[in-house]
Structure 1
Amino acid sequence: MTNTTPSFSIKNWSEDDRPREKLLQKGRIALSDAELLAILIRSGNCDESAVSLSQRILASVANNLHELGKQSINDFMTFKGIGEAKAITIAAAMELGRRRRGEDASHKKKISSSSCVFGLMQPIIGELPHEEFWIVYLNNSNKILQTTQLSKGGITGTLVDVRLAFKSALQIGAVAIVLAHNHPSGTLVPSQADKDLTYKLKIAGESLDIKVLDHLIITEKAYFSFADENLL
């Protein structure tokens, strides 16, 4: 008996419809998000092609690439046809994209406002599920010398070593710093611990003639600036 079961393999598609061939012939911009994701996972399952599977994965996050980047390895593996290797490939691609956005933002060398800091730091920490504390070190023209993660915490907070913060500032010749940390909960209200730490760093900086210009609390779409709210 002849097998009439349709094949969902991309190999059986028209060459113009194959994601990899389409990218080579027409360039990256010609591909949909699902087609780009299909290139990463390479194959679907016995019921659907790689593109169809990719469309379903994207639909699970309302076709939002930011939300896709937040998915865990286990989240991806809930889809039939996505094993550990494919899940890791997707997660790695999402992380590369996040880091690229961070590098693009860091090319804006001069910090002139709280919105500049948000543009710099949001791609780095705005979407993380845990809290991280970062310091942006500046010269006397407010140009970025270095952006450094000082600590990394769990879902509820992180610890900051004040001595380490200013040791790095002295080593690279910074005359000012901007503090930034994220709130995975999405709240923009500074806690008492946030206020206490800001004051502690401000006082420590004054003794070294290193000014704390601002402290930002960053979430996915917004930020709170201590300087803008006159809390410094």
Structure 2
Amino acid sequence: MSQCIKELSLDDRPREKLMQQGAAGLSNSELLAILIRTGTQKRSALRIAEELTASSGLYQNIACVHSVAELAKVKGLGPAKAATILAALELGKRIAAAGSQVKLKIESPQKGAEILLPRLRYEQHEKFLVLLLDSKNQVIRMEQVSEGSVNSSVVHPREVFAPALLYHAAAILVAHNHPSGDPKPSQEDKELTRSLNETGIIMGIPLIDHLVIGDGIFFSFREQGYLDK
């Protein structure tokens, strides 16, 4: 039987430790244990959290989960705890993306990736997003225009430029993820980028970049010279 959190010293209890040291001083498992709150007779909340975060499990077992029912299958978690965890994860993603949008001007591929990596990195299906930019390349809005299967997301230029027209964007940056974690672009990615670039020139809404998001890394069509051809 694992040790109950109440049996730990005050300095080792996740909630008390957070109050003393701040959230940054806690491990992934300790932060997750606070959300789980209580465990079972055989497994404490901290033990459940440790198992979920072992060997990068935080990312493999939690960040990729999209439904309460799926996460609630973990022993020691029920629908209520699963919902709490998913809500916290979604808030984290939104804060990471929204904070960057407020502070960042898209001056480089890296700046765009800072906004889009938190949103796309752990998605299990391909999603295609467009960042709408003003005349100073500042983000007006983020729109998802397509969601596909594990390996593909079908996108048409009209779907990409429709929100750009609606919100009077001066330029756009588009991005999609590769669930495999490898951001190397496919031939379809290259053809789509060429089509979007040509459409943007005709419409007067230039495509400043197309980012392919992998597992912590990304590919920039602009950086690799594809949009200069």
TM-score scaled by length of structure 2: 0.83
* Corresponding position: 1:163 with 2:161: no
Q: Return the match for 1:136 from 123, 131, 141.
A: 131
Q: Give the aligned partner of residue 184 of structure 1.
A: 179
* CA deviation string 1:37-75 (max 9, x = no partner): 22211211212322222222222xx15643354353566
Distance 1:89 1:202, change over 3 A: same
Structure 1 residues 16-25 or 115-124, which shifts more?
16-25
1:229 aligns with one of 207, 221, 224: 224
Number of residue-to-residue matches in the alignment: 225
Residue matched to 2:42: 47
Structure 2 unpaired stretches of 5+: none
Contact 2:18 2:25 in 1 (8 A): yes
Structure 2 distance, partners of 1:105, 1:69, is 23
Pick which of 91-100 and 205-214 moved more.
Answer: 91-100
1:152 matched to 2:147? The reply is yes
Larger-gyration structure (1/2): 1
1:219 is displaced (CA, Å) by 0.7
Check if 1:210 corresponds to 2:202: no
Q: 1:110 is matched with which residue: 89, 105, 129?
A: 105
Give the drift of 1:218. 1.1
Q: What's the RMSD between the two structures over aligned residues?
A: 2.6
The answer (yes or no) to whether the contact 1:8–1:46 under 8 Å persists in 2 is: no
Residue type of the partner of 1:70?
A
Q: Distance in 2 between matches of 1:27 and 1:188?
A: 35
Task: State the Cα distance separating 1:12 from its structure 2 match.
Answer: 5.2
- Give unmatched runs, 5+ long, in structure 1: 1-5
- Asked whether the 8 Å contact 2:52–2:62 carries over to 1, the reply is no
More helix by share: 2
* Separation (CA, whole Å) in 2 of partners of 1:201 and 1:151: 15
Q: Distance in 2 between matches of 1:187 and 1:31?
A: 31
Percent of matched pairs sharing the same residue: 40
| Aligned-partner residue type, residue 99 of structure 1 | R
